[in-house]
Every structure is written in structure tokens, then in C-alpha cells.
Amino acid sequence: MSNIKYFLEQLKITKQLAWWFLILLPVAVTIGLLVAFFLWLLDIVTTTREQHQWLIYLLPIAGVFISWIYTYFGKNVNAGNNLIIEEIHQPDKGVPARMTPLVLGTTILTHLFGGSAGREGTAVQMGGSIAAAFAKLLTLNVDNKRILLMCGIAAGFSAVFGTPVAGTIFALEVLTIGKIKYDALFPCLIASIIAHITCISCGIQHTHYSIDFVSSDTNSFSYFSIDIFLLIKVAIAGVLFGFASFLFRETAHFIKSKTDKLFTKKWMIPIIGGVLVVGISFLLGTTDYLGLGVTSPNKDGISIVSAFHTNGANYFSWFWKLLLTAITLSTGFKGGEVTPLFFIGATLGNTLAILSGSPIDLFAGLGFIAVFAGATNTPIACILMGVELFGGEHVLYYAVACFMAYYFSGHTGIYHAQRKEQPKF
């Protein structure tokens, strides 16, 4: 009887997984296509801005337009990622389908006119709103709707970065600090893989990063198979990456709270934000800190890619990107925080490598994932992202950097809807 019970149980699991696959196939394909379209548009507007740099002077006007759009058409979706996370925790009014066109259009405007923003927020919001639309169409119950929303997060994240495993774990890990629920594990993996395949099938090519450093394993402690001194440097760098995550979050919060108090006319906030972003860039004499920052049109420009090489960043490159992104996103412009966090981490890692005599490409890669881990409280997802983007040879260093950044970034993250199951200490 026990064997019969076991096989019946396996049959039930198989039927459930098949059911989820059929549900997720159209959902993930739709999200993958939308993310591919978004990335295609993003490339176009980025190239246009780089060729016509006078467009950045129109950023304040674009900000007013974005503010107007959300005031009249998107009041209940302005919370962005936090709305989706909160809906998963406590279902209420749902995630409106109009979130997709609103965040897609306003993010494109932000990047066209030079806002310092990312793309993850847009992809995740599109994924969440599409998943919510399908959940409503299929009249799913509360538990299945919650899982489908998590799958939307996973699919959007996976497609926009080309990291299906990290996307899966991110969707599970980002909801609650100190707790991961595994009931959505397989559905999120299915959604991540399908969305990723769909996106790259449309011709989207994700940026290639590489860490060429090879550990020599030579140190005074011959019985260790790792470079213990390098590991200590990585741990210290991880603490500093955590501080950078904390500084980004607090700076963004400070700017938003102060502008909301100082300006009763809310359309003034994006004007001030746009003027500050353009003015600071003008004073710095560079536009390298605008837009995504993955690459730079200038031969000697600063970008995420350049941070993996010698002379690829200045000592304060990370700070300027942090400041401009905090201003952009806190004054009403749209996009995401993650790609700017990659920039902040990679350039900070470059600086720390030079100061400590460490491998530049390794520390740039560690900063890339660790600042993100600290800001979102998702260290496991970020370790897996490091493996998917850079290879698994240095996974021990990824883990040390991400865990240290996680512990030293404070008890909250950039998503205020993220719940705390237990304190970090």
C-alpha cells in the first residue's frame, strides 16, 4: 500500500507540474516578447541620445510629462515593484494591466532624455502585470495567483538580464528577508527559462562580462587551497559594498522625503530632479553617468564594462552614479535600480582593487553582484547571477562578498514592501 500511495503522489505532482507548464507557457512567452521589445527600444533611444546629446537638456520637461501621466492614469501603479510584492503578500485590488504600457513608455522617455536609471524595474513590473492579467483571465485562486505573480517577477528578471537561475531565486528571495518559500520554485524556474529563451530568440544579445583572473593559490598557508589573503580582502570589500548599498538606499529615501515636503506642487519635483541631473553632469564634464551605463560611446568613458579593466573608473565614479540615480528615481522618473547598482558596484570594486592591489576584473565582478545583493537583500540570487554571468570558478569569493554586503547593508532594502521574517543578526 505504501508503494501505491507513493506512486499516486508522484502522479499528482506530475499532473500539477504539467498544469503549471501549460499555464506558464503563454504567460512567459508574452513577458519574454515584451522584454525583448523593451530592450530593443532601449537600444534605440540610448543610441539616439548619444548621437544627439542636446536631448538631455529636455529631461526636466520629460519629467513633468511623466509626472502628468502617472497623476492622471497611473496613481495606483506608481508604487511599481512594491505594488507587486505587496500583492503577493496580501492580495488586495490586484495589479492593473495598464502598468505595462505606463512603465514601458515612461522608462523609454527617461532614458531618451538622459535619466540615470536601469531596466530591471520595468521588466519586473511588466512581468507582474502580465501575470496578474492572466490570473484574472483564468480565475485562479489566491494561492495560484500569488505563485503566478512570483513567476512574472522571475520571467521579467530572467529575460532582461539573461539569467534564468538567478531570476528564479530572486523571485523567491526578494519577498521576505530571512525566509524563502519553495512552493513556487518549479513554476518560477519554468517561467524564467521560457521567458529567457523567448527573449534571446528575438535576437536580443546580452552584454558579455568575463573575469580573466586565475587564482594562483599561493600563500604562506600551504595547507589552504585558496588565497587566504585575497579572501580577507574580498571580505573587507564586501563590507564596503554593503555600505554602498546602504548609502544608495538612504540617499534615495532622503531625496524623496525632502522633495515631497518642500514642494506642494508635485510637478515641480521632476523639474528639480532633471535640472540637478543635467547640472551635475555638466559640472562633471561627462555624460557617462546618464542612462544605463553598461557601455560608453566615448573611447575612454566610464561604464560597467570599462570597470573590469585598468583605468576603467575614477575613484568617485561609483558615488556620482549613486547620486544621479538616487536623484533620478526619487524625483519621479522611471526605470529601475539594479543596472545602476551594477555600475556602482563594478566601479567601486575597480577602485578597491587598485587601492588594495587586488585583481581588478575580479573585484569589479564582486562589486557588480554584491552591491545589488545588499540593496535588495537577495544574496543567494546574486551569487547565482555571478555564476551565470562570470562563470563558477570564483564562486567562493562571490559568496563571501555577497554575504558580507548583505549583513552590512542594514535591515531594509530598496523595496519597502519587502517583509522581514527575522533580523540579520
Q: What is the pLDDT of residues 213-236, one digit of tens each?
A: 887 655 555 555 678 899 999 999
| Residues in Cβ contact with 276 at an 8 Å cutoff, skipping those fewer than 6 apart | 327, 331
Confirm if 343 and 312 have CB atoms less than 8 A apart. no
Is the residue at 102 inside a domain?
yes
Which residues are within 8 A (CB) of 311 and not within 5 positions of it... i.e. 6 or more apart?
300
- Give the pLDDT confidence score for residue 221 in this predicted structure: 54
- Locate 360 and state its grid cell: 581588478
Residue 211 lies in a domain: no
Residue-level pLDDT at 1: 52
Using alpha carbons, list the distances in angstroms from residue 250 to 86, 237, 258, 375, 414. Answer: 21, 20, 12, 10, 9
CB neighbourhood size of 36 (10 A): 20
pLDDT tens digits for 281-329?
999 999 999 999 999 988 889 999 999 999 999 999 999 999 999 999 9
The β-bridge partners of 419 are 176
Task: Please tell me whether residues 181 and 282 are part of one structural domain.
Answer: no
Q: Give the pLDDT of residue 225.
A: 63
Residue 208 lies in a domain: no
Kindly state whether residues 37 and 171 are assigned to the same domain: yes
Amino acid identity for residue 320 in this structure = W
Provide, for the chain, the percentages of residues in helix, strand and coil under a 3-state DSSP scheme, each rounded to the nearest 5: 70, 0, 30
207 lies in some domain:
no
**Residues 264, 153 share a domain:** no
pLDDT at 218: 55
Instruction: For residues 51 and 57, give the distance between their C-alpha atoms in angstroms, rounded to a whole number.
Output: 14
DSSP 8-state symbol, 313: S
- Encode 253-263: b = buried (16+ Cβ within 10 Å), e = exposed: eebbeebeeee
Task: Output the CA–CA distances (angstroms, integers) from residue 96 to 23, 92, 136, 142, 399, in the order listed.
Answer: 20, 11, 10, 16, 37
Q: What pLDDT does residue 224 have?
A: 53
Tell me which amino acid residue 295 is.
Answer: T
> In angstroms, how far is the first alpha carbon of the chain from the final one?
47
- Examine the domain organization and report whether 151 and 235 are in the same domain: no
Task: Clarify whether residues 299 and 357 are in a common domain.
Answer: yes
* 92 and 141 within one domain: yes
- Is 215 part of a structural domain of the chain? no
> Is 214 within the bounds of a domain?
no
374 and 248, same structural domain? Answer: yes
Q: d(Cα 337, Cα 115) in Å, to the nearest integer?
A: 12
Could you report the per-residue pLDDT of 324-346, keeping only the tens digit for each? 999 999 999 998 899 999 999 99
Q: What is the CATH number of the domain that holds 19?
A: 1.10.3080.10
- Point out the domain boundary residue: 201, 219, 252: 201
Residue 215 has what pLDDT?
Answer: 73
Average pLDDT over the chain, rounded to an integer: 92
Verify that 246 and 166 share a domain, yes or no.
no
291 and 374, same domain (yes or no): yes
Query: Does 262 lie in the same domain as 124?
Result: no
Q: What pLDDT sits at residue 58?
A: 96
Among the listed residues 302, 282, 284, the one whose alpha carbon sits nearest the alpha carbon of residue 293: 302
The number of distinct structural domains making up the chain is 2
The beta-strand segments (E) located in 17-157 are none
Residue entry with cell 575613484: 315
Residues in the chain with pLDDT values less than 70: 1, 216-225
Residue 212 covered by a domain: no
Q: Print the domain residue range for 100.
A: 2-201
Query: Same domain, yes or no, for 338 and 409?
Result: yes
- pLDDT given for residue 4 in this prediction: 85
Whether 114 and 277 have beta carbons less than 8 Å apart is answered as yes
Angle between helices 379-390 and 360-376 (to 10 degrees): 150
Structural domain includes residue 236: yes
Asked if 374 and 235 sit in the same domain, the reply is yes
Position 216 scores a pLDDT of 66
pLDDT at res. 297: 86
